Chain A
């Protein structure tokens, strides 16, 4: 899959990092990192979220100084104090989160900070047009960046780097924001530029992509490099095991723990769009029993989000009842429902799960502000909350320098572990987990799976919504397929394949005995 290596072995390597160590208060972000990037290759750096990839790249780009270790560029030892030193040495960085000013034009964004090269006028414009071709960017430099799509913004970022004369380009998680077709276009651009002699450092934890584009791979785990691999011979699973440092987890559950005790009983729930024009949920009946994981499969936008929000009381159902352990919750608010024993892992942890600017212990209180240990009577119990946050950090392996750092300082996986830990506190009887492992690394994924399995064995009822069909099939005791606001089919997780589920989700009808339709799907309805 990878293009032929154009690296010449007789030249000194483009970049050599030796024994890099970087400490922050409370954590060691990098320890004794070794990395060699040959000239003209695409070198991938793989690791879980929070493994220290970004810190390492910030060091290479001069944004942070290493505590120990040396950097060599083209055989010469260098010392970067600021990014401009790195730029002078021919190193450029395309950040994961675009560093663009939306309200400025493409040209202004590109020349900013490098005005000395070609000014900010016509000369710069000509140079930008000249370089645009190499990145596949096909817009006028006078266009505002806010009018560009994500793929073009990324091209502007690459253009910025080229304009400054970079020969070594760091791409930090470049595909995280792209759709598959754009990823292919990006790879075409990278290969084209590789042929023109550019060197790429490609940071990613998406292993299929790494194997598709890289000439060599270095794996980083817990802040240190653990080895390198040849992407042509290594499998994604082997790479993943290098990243995690152990055998990969699987979501598989072993024996059934389902009991007869009905925990959640949803009957005939209907929900209309806010303008009342169209139903989002129609006659949804759903039962989740103690010790059971009920998975809901469905293409996004078919009512799963709304179903969860209706059960949580964030939306008011038009008709139907929702009861928990026989108690009617239909008229209660969200807080009362949580107090009745529902834990909720929201699908978007940044919008609904956490206050990013607040410390971890503060986030622990959210949703538990009326219950022990976060509250005593009408007062908040901050000591209790802090103590319990320490427990979550320890039990759920939340990697953090302390419980007083803001939630934003944690990587996505660690944020999610905190949310799951919080929602499993206070002995809930039902857990609603929406995409519980979306956007988290393999290690965090395994931990979250284990915790859900353990809680299930202890009698927790779980309603699981996930777009990851392997996760859904592996964890669930029962799978229901949701299409256009209805639960249209049941599937048996022991026998169903992701392909079967996929066709049921799109309404193509059942293709397997493992999926049996419960509602006739009306064709032609929009």
Chain B
């Protein structure tokens, strides 16, 4: 699933004339990631790395990140930096809980989208109409989201749940699994054969306990791609993020497209909040529930180079890191370190082939350090493990950010005339 991390060796240094189509690179990346994980789990003796349970948790945890990232994608493609995703997500969680305990999960979804969109609308008014710095407005919305929901929770949830920090339980979606396939995959997984069991475990995790929200989120990804890259509306929206002056000179309504993009962005972030509230493990609003996932979503989008495919890879990576630490704890996260060492080995070979001595040397040093860490520790301390997703975010962005290409007018306040 950590497809995009594996992409690095496959993309040539100058990605101008890419001979291999994007989907093929992605498939190679996915295959490479599965091979890497299965070797790691075989070598370290932790089948949890590719178990169906881990995958299932990873999917659930990746959903909010994916949706937040998708929200970021919409806004930033239109040239508005949306650091307020976190705040819009918080508003989404509250809205989902408020509607969810009264009218069920579908109402929760709708309310989450509406609340998130309101946050987006506020951001659009501030940044587009009044030309407020995008970061300032975004941070303000994060503070506002946290403060407003705290107030509303005390007002509305306290009498019901006797807890100002938590909502009454929300009814969950019925989940469904692909009946025959799941059992068959389960047998394969239990067989503990190299690679086959790993693939079976991951597939089983993907087809078991699927909620409608998962389906919606997965469908929103190609839908966003189609809208943004294959329609007239999308072309205009992206042109606004690349060069608003040019777009304006050609009769494109710059403000309108920015507004739509940021409102949709808020709606998607809100939906991400609903994904947290409707998570089977939780099923209620909790203060501080988002835990920075809006920011991680933004990071996933940046990691994915402002493209939906890359964003999916980023969300999967962060979801997986999160899921692994939640389900299995420090020992398995340590096993993942072993996997990273193998990956670095591949990178070293690749860099040597391309005669990039410095990069190769750097990769060797990091690999040796990580390997020493791996053999000297029995497990990663618990305090550290819960920060695994954040650590992964930092590491990945530090490495990946060199080749990224953001929309040219991203974060630039546009004034007509």
Contact = CB atoms under 8 A, between A and B. Distances in A.
Interface of A: 63, 82-84, 87, 93, 95, 98-104, 108-109, 111-115, 119-120, 147, 160
Nearest to A160: B250
A174 to B, nearest CB: 16
A84 B246 contact: no
B31 interface: no
A103 B235 contact: no
Nearest to A63: B249
Contact of B247 (A102, A103, A112, A119): A112
B407 interface: yes
Which 6 pairs between the two chains have the least Cβ-Cβ distance?
A113-B250, A101-B242, A99-B246, A84-B251, A115-B232, A101-B243
A103 B408 contact: yes
B250 A103 contact: no
A104 B232 contact: no
A103 B247 CA distance: 13
18 contacts: A83-B251, A98-B246, A99-B249, A99-B250, A100-B246, A101-B238, A101-B239, A101-B242, A103-B242, A108-B235, A108-B238, A111-B235, A112-B250, A112-B252, A115-B235, A119-B232, A120-B231, A120-B235
Contacts of B123: none
B355 interface: no
B7 to A, nearest CB: 20
Contact of A113 (B16, B231, B242, B251): B251
Most chain B C-beta atoms within 10 Å of own C-beta, residue among A63, A82, A104, A147: A104
Contacts of A98: 246
Interface residues of B, number: 20
Contacts of B236: 112-113, 115
B372 to A, nearest CB: 35
A102 B242 contact: yes
B122 to A, nearest CB: 27
A82 B254 CA distance: 14
Nearest to A114: B250
B246 A83 contact: no
A112 B408 contact: no
A120 B243 CA distance: 18
Interface of B: 16, 230-232, 235-236, 238-239, 242-243, 245-247, 249-252, 405, 407-408
Nearest to A101: B242
A98 B236 CA distance: 18
A256 B232 CA distance: 68
B245 A99 contact: yes
Contacts of B252: 112-113
B408 A95 contact: no
Nearest to B306: A103
Given A99-B245, A115-B232, A104 B238 contact: yes
B245 to A, nearest CB: 6
Contacts of A82: 251
A147 B251 contact: no
A93 B235 CA distance: 21
B239 A99 contact: no
A160 B238 CA distance: 18
A287 B72 CA distance: 61
Given A99-B246, A100-B246, A102-B242, A147 B405 contact: no
Contacts of B242: 101-104
Contacts of B407: 103
Contacts of B247: 101, 112-113
A101 B251 contact: no
B251 A87 contact: yes
B250 A95 contact: no
A95 B249 CA distance: 10
A101 B246 contact: yes
A69 B405 CA distance: 46
Nearest to B240: A101
Given A102-B242, A104-B235, A104-B238, 19 more contacts: A82-B251, A83-B249, A95-B249, A99-B250, A100-B243, A100-B246, A101-B238, A101-B246, A102-B408, A104-B239, A108-B239, A112-B252, A113-B251, A113-B252, A115-B236, A119-B232, A120-B232, A147-B16, A160-B250
B140 to A, nearest CB: 24
B405 A112 contact: no
B304 to A, nearest CB: 15
Nearest to B405: A103
Contacts of A109: 246
Contacts of A160: 250
Nearest to A113: B250
Contacts of B238: 101, 104, 108
Contacts of B232: 115, 119-120
Nearest to B234: A120
A108 B249 CA distance: 15
Nearest to B409: A101
A177 to B, nearest CB: 16
A147 B231 CA distance: 24
Contacts of A104: 235, 238-239, 242
A160 B247 CA distance: 12
Most chain B C-beta atoms within 10 Å of own C-beta, residue among A83, A101, A109: A101
A101 B16 contact: no
Contacts of B243: 99-102
A112 B236 CA distance: 7
B245 A112 contact: no
Contacts of B235: 104, 108, 111-112, 115, 120
B393 to A, nearest CB: 25
B406 to A, nearest CB: 9
